Chains A and B, each alone.
Chain A
Amino acid sequence: MSLSVTLTINGDRKDVVLEDPRVTLLDLLRERLHLTGTKKGCDRGQCGACTVLVDGRRINACLALAASLDGAEVMTIEGLAVGGRLATVQSAFIEHDGFQCGFCTPGQIMSAVGLILEGDAGDDPDRVREGMSGNLCRCGAHAGIIEAVLDAQKRVAGEEGKAA
């Protein structure tokens, strides 16, 4: 079985030949495609710094085998801004000081995008906190992060209302 995979990454189709089957999605993004926005924190599914969307769902890229994801659509932090215009979640993180050093931020933002897509949390801060518990912030910016997610969610809902 050939270990070439085709992935659609931030809308671009990529054919990648894997040197061996051990390559995780995280290492493929960072080392092969040089998309280094997705961070390697713990590399064990505990910190959430590597969170990306695969087929619209947030997962830990460090615990996904690239070979197994042949055909998948992946969205990383690099795919959020369109034409230099920040996505709503990105703007909200800036406005609410949802970070300090910034290392966990791409994972936090992709996790927030996933949470908003899931649509389970509503405007309940407890549900948002619970839904973001897979993303650690060593600087302790969680208070701003939760405010940013709640605000972004409200704005996204408003934009969808306008579009509809």
Chain B
Amino acid sequence: MNLFDYVRPASVAEAVAAASKPGAAYFAGGTNLLDLMKTGALTPGKLVDITRLPGLDRIETLSEGGMRIGAMVRNADLARAPDFAAAYPAVAEALLSGASAQLRNAATVGGNLMQRTRCAYLADPASVCNRRDPGAGCDALEGENRTHAVLGWSDACIATHPSDFCVPLVAFDAVVEIEGPEGRREMPLEEFYLLPGETPEHESVLAGGELITGLRLPPEAADFRARSRYLKLRERTSFAFALVSAAAALQIEDGTIGKARLALGGVAARPWRARSAEALLRGAEPTAESFARAAEAALADAKPSGDNAFKIELARRVVTRAFLLAAAGTPESVPALPASVFSSDTGVSIHA
């Protein structure tokens, strides 16, 4: 690990000022940043510790509806907050399907949004990586790439976004709140992430010194609470990143789908919202056939970036199954094996 300066500012304004110089990085839970610093993949000259900033650790119900979550709320605390899990059960399930209990106790909401791809070539300084070293090339293109992207990738980068949490957040139109040298701004989380194109080193819209201070879930997101699931295919039942995952949510009235939401994880450089699939389901019956058509639409533009053609069919099946689970109803509590196909918990509609 390189030597760095360590500062612990007392306010958001001080933090932004401290982080506005090149080479600085914010330090929160540290679970991803320290890992990448240990391999030498990241070498920040200064760490700006934001763990003590006041006011960033709150979970609030907003008077206009919806909830606001401070950037320093720990993943485990958010998943366990009863009001949050009741309103956004698929988000709680996604959080609990990620990492391990120890990591969820340390990792933060803002850090989860800012975590880096788990493409092994980013973490290995002996490899070339256009994200780490723009223009250097991409060892994943001809390397171990069976877990890599099937949507939105470019010849410069085929990495995926690793988050579980962000997948239902994108499905539910979560908004990111940002504080920076130029003031405050906010945007939908979906627009926060950039696809690689020719400049994969730009992973998000954040400019130097900008800090995520929180995120909001709009009130409409809670209208899906009776039928929303997160389903995650991985190579072991727990403590593994998604090969493919899906957040699926439905509103059903008189046997017909009103609104549908779908986002996929593990398939692209950002959580992948599938609006064409959502549109197909509007007015349809909640059957396996409808969901399979939606899955086809969601993956219509998918193409392999390497040894990963299997992920396209896998993603279709995950989407279909996630919608079937959502249609059956949100379970009363998060299943023992969150987001797992091996979970024995079946959905029970809270309106039954």
- Name, among B3, B5, B102, the residue most crowded by chain A CB atoms within 10 Å (CB to CB): B102
Q: Is A94 an interface residue (CB 8 A)?
A: no
CB distance from B206 to the nearest CB of A (A): 22
**Docked-complex contact A129 and B31, CB < 8 angstroms:** no
**Docked-complex contact A21 and B102, CB < 8 angstroms:** no
Quick one: which of A77-117 are within 8 Å of B by CB?
A: 111, 114-115
- The A interface is mostly helix, strand or loop, or mixed, namely mixed
With both beta carbons as reference points, the residue of chain B lying nearest to A22 in the complex is identified as B1
Total residues of chain A contacting the partner, CB 8 A: 35
**Docked-complex contact A22 and B4, CB < 8 angstroms:** yes
**Docked-complex contact B3 and A58, CB < 8 angstroms:** no
**Docked-complex contact B49 and A68, CB < 8 angstroms:** yes
Residues of B with C-beta under 8 A to A132: 101
CA distance A122 to B73 in the complex (A): 25
CA distance A144 to B47 in the complex (A): 42
CA distance A64 to B338 in the complex (A): 26
Residues of A with C-beta under 8 A to B49: 65, 67-68
Quick one: which of B10-54 are within 8 Å of A by CB?
A: 27, 30-31, 34-35, 38, 47, 49, 51
CB distance from B132 to the nearest CB of A (A): 18
Residues of B with C-beta under 8 A to A115: 101
B336 partner, pick from A3, A20, A24, A127, beta carbons under 8 A: A127
**Docked-complex contact B8 and A65, CB < 8 angstroms:** no
CB distance from A3 to the nearest CB of B (A): 7
Q: Is A15 an interface residue (CB 8 A)?
A: no
**Docked-complex contact A48 and B102, CB < 8 angstroms:** yes
B106 partner, pick from A21, A44, A63, A133, beta carbons under 8 A: A63
**Docked-complex contact A124 and B103, CB < 8 angstroms:** no
CA distance A60 to B103 in the complex (A): 7
CA distance A33 to B101 in the complex (A): 26
Give the size category of B's interface with A.
20 to 34
Q: Is A163 an interface residue (CB 8 A)?
A: no
Quick one: which of B297-352 are within 8 Å of A by CB?
A: 336-338, 344
**Docked-complex contact A1 and B30, CB < 8 angstroms:** no
Quick one: which of A33-54 are within 8 Å of B by CB?
A: 43-45, 48, 51
B100 partner, pick from A20, A57, A124, A133, beta carbons under 8 A: A133
**Docked-complex contact B35 and A45, CB < 8 angstroms:** yes
CA distance A44 to B344 in the complex (A): 32
A60 partner, pick from B47, B80, B106, B344, beta carbons under 8 A: B106
Quick one: which of B75-125 are within 8 Å of A by CB?
A: 76, 80, 99-103, 105-106
Residues of B with C-beta under 8 A to A131: 101
Q: Is A120 an interface residue (CB 8 A)?
A: yes
**Docked-complex contact A111 and B30, CB < 8 angstroms:** no
With both beta carbons as reference points, the residue of chain A lying nearest to B37 in the complex is identified as A22
A21-B47, A63-B34 as given contacts; A130 in contact with B338, CB under 8 Å: yes
Q: Is A159 an interface residue (CB 8 A)?
A: no
CA distance A115 to B337 in the complex (A): 15
**Docked-complex contact A130 and B106, CB < 8 angstroms:** no
- Name, among A3, A20, A67, A68, the residue most crowded by chain B CB atoms within 10 Å (CB to CB): A68
Which A residues fall within an 8 A CB radius of B?
A: 1, 3, 20-22, 24, 43-45, 48, 51, 57-60, 63-65, 67-68, 111, 114-115, 118, 120, 124, 126-127, 129-135
Which B residues fall within an 8 A CB radius of A?
A: 1, 3-8, 27, 30-31, 34-35, 38, 47, 49, 51, 76, 80, 99-103, 105-106, 237-239, 336-338, 344
